[in-house]
Amino acid sequence: MASPAHERLPARHSTHQLEAFSKQRFRTLFCEPLFLVRDESAPDYGADLSIEALVSDGKRPTNIRRLIQLKATSKAANVRGVYKINIKIHNIHYMINSHSSFYCAYSAQADRLYYRSSMSVFEELQQCGRIPSHKRFLSVGFWQELDTREVAEIHRRMLEFAEGVKAIEQLYASDDYGEVIFGKYRMPPEPHEVTGVYACRLDEFGNLIRLEHELWLHAFGSIPRGYEVFHKNGMMLDNRRINLGLRPVDPRKYSVGIFPTLDENINARNILRVILQGEEAKLEEAETPEPAVFWDVVRALQKQGMSMMRDDVEAYKSDCRKLLRMDL
């Protein structure tokens, strides 16, 4: 029984206890030799902790870091085993600006930690559509448990991601490289459906060159006519060498547009076939195409995300001169 003197001391709120337990639990998982954990110093605008990856059995820090927003709940999971926690909407926008940051939720009942990437929470917010101005919170579900195996995987992904970023920065450090573009591209027959994102540059001639295209050339050499570099896991910004492969180009991916006359439309289709198939192209009968049609087709393909370097364009021109008798 507490004495009267003790009763006159300030009470410790249960949320303070939860916060302390959650940080203690977090630090027991994200510990040496894999990680250093730091409290984010005031003023705190939305991140509670940061983790830094260690290497060489904990002997060397890397400055490879992630920000974490730590939440805690004493409530039970729902019938699907999901813990629901309210997160401020402005905090979601704040956390997404730090790459690879994540939210971590501590369940007092289970004495376990769960996590979600900030990107996945942001995507969930985007799916809600227009949010009323008075709504300040998003109810976010947590179910992915954090254990020692998952922490080791986070460590591996952090190091791998940092190596990829460094390689890209080194590749494009030159001022001559041009503009790096991140964009969405759409594919027929459902033009409203966004299928992915890509990174590319524009060279001095306006040719669009996909990042994975250039990385393949650096690592493996030339790309055969009619083939394209693709991402094995479907993640179009995951440009690790092990994730890149070659596959035949599907001509149904690209539209050459609609031209005023029948001959121009036939010529545009023929030019596309020559670009994709070279001397093996099966051509329709038509008058000799005007040079403008060639450039219309090339730019249409580039706008739809087809990568081509200057040497590629010169090869296309050469084949069109030979096979279509074009004056290029």
* pLDDT tens digits, 47-70: 999 999 999 999 999 999 999 999
| 194 and 268 assigned to the same domain | yes
Bigger pLDDT: 114 or 198? 114
Residue 4 lies in a domain: no
Helix 262-277 with 310-324: angle, nearest 10 deg: 120
How far apart are the C-alpha atoms of 207 and 309, rounded to whole Å?
6
Residue 167 has pLDDT above 70, yes or no: no
- The answer on 143 and 192 residing in a single domain is no
- Judge whether 294 and 326 are in contact, CB under 8 Å: yes
122 and 209: one domain? no
The pLDDT value recorded for residue 147 is 94
Q: Which helix (H) or strand (E) holds 64?
A: strand 60-73
Q: How far is it, in rounded angstroms, from Cα 12 to Cα 14?
A: 6
Shared domain for 158 and 16, answered yes or no, is yes
Domain encompassing residue 38: 12-165
pLDDT digits (tens, 9 = 90+) for 2-46: 567 667 787 777 888 888 999 999 999 999 999 999 998 877 788
Residue 212 to residue 240: CA distance in whole angstroms: 9
Choose the most confident range, by mean pLDDT, from 141-155, 230-244, 255-269: 141-155
Residue 235 structure tokens: 């993640």
Residue 327 has pLDDT above 50, yes or no: yes
Q: Are residues 158 and 183 in the same domain?
A: no
Question: Same domain for 206 and 93?
Answer: no
Q: Are residues 161 and 178 in the same domain?
A: no
pLDDT 10s digits, 174-207 = 544 344 444 444 434 344 333 456 777 777 777 8
Same domain, 230 and 140: no
95 and 235 together in one domain: no
Higher pLDDT, residue 233 or 101: 101
- Could you check whether the bond before residue 289 is cis, i.e. omega within 30 degrees of 0? no
Q: Show which of 133, 165, 197 is a domain's final residue.
A: 165
In a domain, 268, yes or no: yes
Burial 243-252 (b: 16+ CB within 10 A, else e): bbeeeebeee
More confident residue, 192 or 246: 246
pLDDT band at 1 (very low <50, low <70, confident <90, very high): low
Query: Which tops the pLDDT comparison, 8 or 98?
Result: 98
The reply to whether 295 and 154 lie within a common domain is no
Range of lowest pLDDT (74-88, 198-212, 258-272, 273-287): 198-212
User: Residue 212 is inside which H or E element, if any?
Assistant: helix 211-220
Read off φ and ψ for residue 24, nearest 5 degrees. -65, -45
Q: Are residues 21 and 154 in the same domain?
A: yes
Q: How many CB atoms lie within 10 A of CB 278?
A: 17
Tell me which of 116, 140, 165 is where a domain ends. 165
Picking from 143, 165, 187, the residue at the C-terminal end of a domain is 165
Q: 207 with 119, same domain? A: no
Q: Average pLDDT over the chain, rounded to whole?
A: 84
